[in-house]
Structure 1
Amino acid sequence: MVTVNKTIKPLEVQEPTHFHRIEKTYKNNQDSDYTEKLKELGQEFNYAKNSNYYWSKPDLSLLYGTPLYDAASETQKLALNHLYWVGNYNHTAVSEASTSIYNMVTSGVFRAVGGYETLCDELDFETEQESYHIRTFQKIGYKSKMAIVGKTILGNSLYGKTEKDNNNWLNLLIPQPVREYFTSSQGSSPFSIQRDNTLSAIAKTMLSDKKQYYSQYLRNLEEKGEPIPAPADGLAGRIAPRHWLRFFTVHWGMSPFMACQYYSLRYTANAILKNQEYPYVRYYRELEQKGEYIPAPTAVSYYHLLDEAFHTTISQTIARDMYKDFPKPTAYEKFISGLIVYKIQRNLLSGLSGVLPGRCVYDDQMLMLFYYKLLKSPLFNMETKEALDWMEKCFCQEHEGFQTGLKYHHSLLELMRRLFSRLDYQWAVNRDMGIMAAGASIDKAIQNNIPVFKEFSKSVLAQDN
């Protein structure tokens, strides 16, 4: 009897496909890095050379489709087109500064886990790119804004005296030690410090089995006695108050699953930017094909999207696929991740604007204040009553601007559902973006604006008197 010896080869364990996608994205991002081109465009920008050209199709303009836009001169329409770019990229600059912080927070977790070195290198590279993007946006934005309206719409001081006067009587009723506990002119009040410490302790207690993954970035801040970062502006600043953002940041900087979940939030920022930026890219290509002059800001949008496309791929990959590398989320982690996305919908995506295309949140008094100052600026040079009359037509009556807003709302909703519908751990209302979808109503937007505008108008007239 002949015995045949068979050698059994061990099965080869293949890496998940998202590892290869991350490696490919990192390599391609390095090979096609456009930061130097963006830096050059920012340094050489001259508003006068670009002032007589539209930087996008007219529908990406402040007040587009409103009665006021229809009555505006060509010079004013060009300025409204340029100011839309300025406002959009000022907001993008602030949001990208927040992204840089959270890249460092989450990469600290992935480094602690081990095996994600290429991903961490990509996040570091993205952070470096963002610094170039931010400086370019700020340079072009500042030069353009100063050329169009000067310092007229810088700052928001309209309500300063009124609020202070209204609080005087309350200050007399509250004992000074109590006031000093809740408020401080020197920085954080004792109450806010205690609140932040309590929320941080809750997060660390609920995630105590993940303490070995706590981000080195956050450890370093704690060792220096510095607070956990919480942006007050940009997209992150709209999602929740700063103490809630600090609370969420502890989760993103401690749990591998929650670090992945953060990238669904970052994808939201990517999607909002893409929804507004891709039309600039189409416009750039149209001008290029016709051999026509391409304004520098249009070129900035084009090259920025080429860089940002890699960032979007990373956000999708981590949020949609990489979270599955780790143990299934606990009930607590599911709750926190659901709460975060719910807040994103409520505070960032729940409405519709008829005066600012691409804005998917109801118009508020701060936006009305911006437009009031714009109409009072040298660009329109209106008296108070004329400005308020035009604003009422724009905010409180149906017009084409709401239809334009609805178009951008629908395209963003599709982008959001493309990711969130695939996150099995999310609440049902988050998977189908139910709150965002319900906000796509012109009638709701107008009904929301009417009382807000009445209150705003009342404040303006009281200030004038």
Structure 2
Amino acid sequence: MVNTIQKLSDSTTTYRKLQINYTRNKQKDHTALMDEATANFRYEDCQNEYWNPEEFSLLYGTPLWEQSSKHQRIVLNQLYWVAYYSQIVSAEIATIYFNQTSAAGLYAQEDFRLICDTLDLESAQERSHINTFRVIAKQVEQTLFGEPIFTYPMRGPFTETMVYADTNALKTWWKKIQLQYFGLISANNTFLACQYFTVRGVRTLNGKLVQHKLSNYYQKHPQSESAPIPAKISYYHFLDESFHFNSSTIISHDVITCLPKATAFERLVANLGLLGCQRDHFHFSAAINGIFWYDPALYNKIYYVLRSPIFNMSDTDAKEMMRRCFTEESEGLHRSFATHQEAMQSYKVYVEKLDYLWQQNREMSVMGGNSIARYLATQRNAFWRFEKDVSHAETQRRKEELKSLV
């Protein structure tokens, strides 16, 4: 990095990259199309068809998938869409906030309006995305279950971004404090404002790998006009996010070179942020390929789905099915692990030219510490505790039923 702050326009190549990305995103903004599609969505119009490629279905490639009927597989495919984009909602709420604090960190610099205008446009798009995902997901779950499953009330930007994480009350509180502090200091520090986009770029890169495949379902649909609306929305979202990824890359790789060399404190905060991203992406899920959820946190949701009229399993059958899906190797588990490894390798390439990173961030060694053997050991321990808790709850429920009959 150079030792003097330049006007952004003095760096002709960087400024031109930003101009092109902003102009094209503005010209190709899909907000109106997404809002129109959302207004036209009726679950009954597309409830009998896939919304994603088949392999992007909840618990694809597990024993549950293998024994499911055609109708059940369609529901699992749709529930993947609901669960996946419910996670994206959480990420985009945080993005809106940190877009604004990062823009504030650039206010004191000459000639940085273009970046701020870019972030304003992206935040408006994120608000549209959030509305769309919530409207569709809630309608689907209300129809199928009569209540939310993977959806949740609107949340603030300081909540744990990973919806199903390996966390507890203390960890959640500490994460909230860290996010609040980073928002505060990055709003008054140009380097950290730019470095935020390293983390955003890594997170978006993972999404881009999966969402490209989801968008292909609409692109390759034999009759695109009659394709299910959620598939169309996946396509629109992918196109918007492609521009957002470009912004992250330009700001974190090019704009940052116009700034003074990072101080020891700035390097510390930057590396801790990326280390936190690695921890968030440490896990992989047999239930949902492409989102790095901690499966034990998901057990209650899956149990509810299996006990619902869609699968109509008994308590014993539901627990046995979950045991097989989560504690034994399957095609679905190996697919999810392969996605995890692909993401990790792409992160390494993304950060390799950033000279302020610690080795463990450059090598993604924290994220790389997971494995299928470790996953299975974790699930076997966690599932044993889950079975005990469910059995206790079921016993209590039966006692209450007997009392009411007396």
TM-score range, shorter chain: 0.7 to 0.9
Q: Which residue of 2 aligns with 1:241?
A: 175
Q: Which residue of 2 aligns with 1:177?
A: none
Kindly indicate whether residue 275 of structure 2 is the aligned counterpart of residue 342 of structure 1: yes
Give distance in 2, aligned partners of 1:362 and 1:96: 20
Give distance in 2, aligned partners of 1:417 and 1:270: 14
Secondary structure of residue in 1 paired with 2:354:
coil
Choose from 121, 131, 134 the match for 1:135: 131
Give distance in 2, aligned partners of 1:395 and 1:293: 36
More deviation, 267-276/70-79: 267-276
- Asked whether the 8 Å contact 2:138–2:151 carries over to 1, the reply is no
Residues 133-189 of structure 1, C-alpha deviation per residue, up to 9 Å, x if partnerless? 111111111111112222163789xxxxxxxxxxxxxxxxxxxxxxxxxxxxxxxxx
Choose from 289, 303, 314 the match for 1:357: 289
More deviation, 278-287/231-240: 231-240
More deviation, 388-397/275-284: 275-284
Secondary structure of residue in 2 paired with 1:360:
coil
Kindly indicate whether residue 310 of structure 2 is the aligned counterpart of residue 314 of structure 1: no
Q: Which residue of 1 aligns with 2:169?
A: none
Counterpart mapping for 1:66-81 below 5 A: 66-81=62-77
- 1:317 deviates by 0.9
Secondary structure of residue in 1 paired with 2:22:
helix
Residues 320-372 of structure 1, C-alpha deviation per residue, up to 9 Å, x if partnerless? 121121111111211121112112112x11122222211335422x2111111
Q: Which residue of 1 aligns with 2:211?
A: 277
Choose from 298, 303, 326 the match for 2:236: 303
Q: Which runs of 5+ in 1 are unaligned?
A: 1-12, 157-228
Q: Which residue of 1 aligns with 2:158?
A: 231
Q: Which residue of 1 aligns with 2:338?
A: 407
Choose from 346, 361, 378 the match for 1:448: 378
Choose from 264, 268, 284 the match for 1:331: 264
Counterpart mapping for 1:162-241 below 5 A: 230-235=157-162, 241=175
- 1:113 deviates by 1.8
Give distance in 2, aligned partners of 1:434 and 1:155: 32
- Asked whether the 8 Å contact 1:153–1:377 carries over to 2, the reply is no
Choose from 90, 97, 100 the match for 1:104: 100
- Asked whether the 8 Å contact 1:235–1:269 carries over to 2, the reply is no
- 1:32 deviates by 0.8
- Asked whether the 8 Å contact 1:231–1:237 carries over to 2, the reply is no
Greater Rg over alpha carbons, structure: 1
Give distance in 2, aligned partners of 1:423 and 1:121: 25
Kindly indicate whether residue 83 of structure 2 is the aligned counterpart of residue 87 of structure 1: yes
CA 142–362 in structure 1, closer or farther in 2 if over 3 Å, else same: closer
- Asked whether the 8 Å contact 2:86–2:137 carries over to 1, the reply is yes
Give distance in 1, aligned partners of 2:393 and 2:373: 30
CA 33–112 in structure 1, closer or farther in 2 if over 3 Å, else same: same
Q: What code does the residue aligned with 1:416 have?
A: Y
- Asked whether the 8 Å contact 1:270–1:312 carries over to 2, the reply is yes
Kindly indicate whether residue 363 of structure 2 is the aligned counterpart of residue 432 of structure 1: yes
Q: Which residue of 2 aligns with 1:37?
A: 33
- TM-score, normalising length from structure 1? 0.77
More deviation, 417-426/291-300: 291-300
- 1:315 deviates by 0.6
Q: Which residue of 1 aligns with 2:300?
A: 369
Kindly indicate whether residue 61 of structure 2 is the aligned counterpart of residue 65 of structure 1: yes
- Asked whether the 8 Å contact 1:62–1:80 carries over to 2, the reply is yes
Q: What code does the residue aligned with 2:230 have?
A: P
Counterpart mapping for 1:365-404 below 5 A: 366-404=297-335
CA 319–154 in structure 1, closer or farther in 2 if over 3 Å, else same: closer
Give distance in 1, aligned partners of 2:143 and 2:313: 19
- Asked whether the 8 Å contact 2:102–2:187 carries over to 1, the reply is yes
CA 291–334 in structure 1, closer or farther in 2 if over 3 Å, else same: closer
- TM-score, normalising length from structure 2? 0.88
CA 311–237 in structure 1, closer or farther in 2 if over 3 Å, else same: farther
Give distance in 2, aligned partners of 1:237 and 1:251: 28
- 1:268 deviates by 2.5
Q: What code does the residue aligned with 1:58 have?
A: E
Q: Which residue of 2 aligns with 1:217?
A: none
- RMSD of aligned residue pairs (Cα, Å): 2.1
Q: Which residue of 2 aligns with 1:260?
A: 194
CA 230–131 in structure 1, closer or farther in 2 if over 3 Å, else same: closer
- Asked whether the 8 Å contact 2:134–2:151 carries over to 1, the reply is no
CA 232–354 in structure 1, closer or farther in 2 if over 3 Å, else same: same
Q: Which runs of 5+ in 2 are unaligned?
A: 1-8, 166-171, 396-406
CA 246–304 in structure 1, closer or farther in 2 if over 3 Å, else same: same
Give distance in 2, aligned partners of 1:149 and 1:252: 42
Q: What code does the residue aligned with 2:282 have?
A: S
- 1:106 deviates by 0.9
Give distance in 2, aligned partners of 1:130 and 1:345: 24
Give distance in 2, aligned partners of 1:72 and 1:444: 28
CA 285–367 in structure 1, closer or farther in 2 if over 3 Å, else same: same
Secondary structure of residue in 1 paired with 2:83:
helix
- 1:234 deviates by 3.0
Identity of aligned residues (%): 30
Residues 92-148 of structure 1, C-alpha deviation per residue, up to 9 Å, x if partnerless? 122212111111111111122231111111111111111111111111111111122
- 1:22 deviates by 0.7
- 1:31 deviates by 0.8
Choose from 388, 394, 402 the match for 1:458: 388
Give distance in 1, aligned partners of 2:25 and 2:150: 36
- Asked whether the 8 Å contact 1:152–1:373 carries over to 2, the reply is no
Choose from 34, 41, 46 the match for 2:42: 46
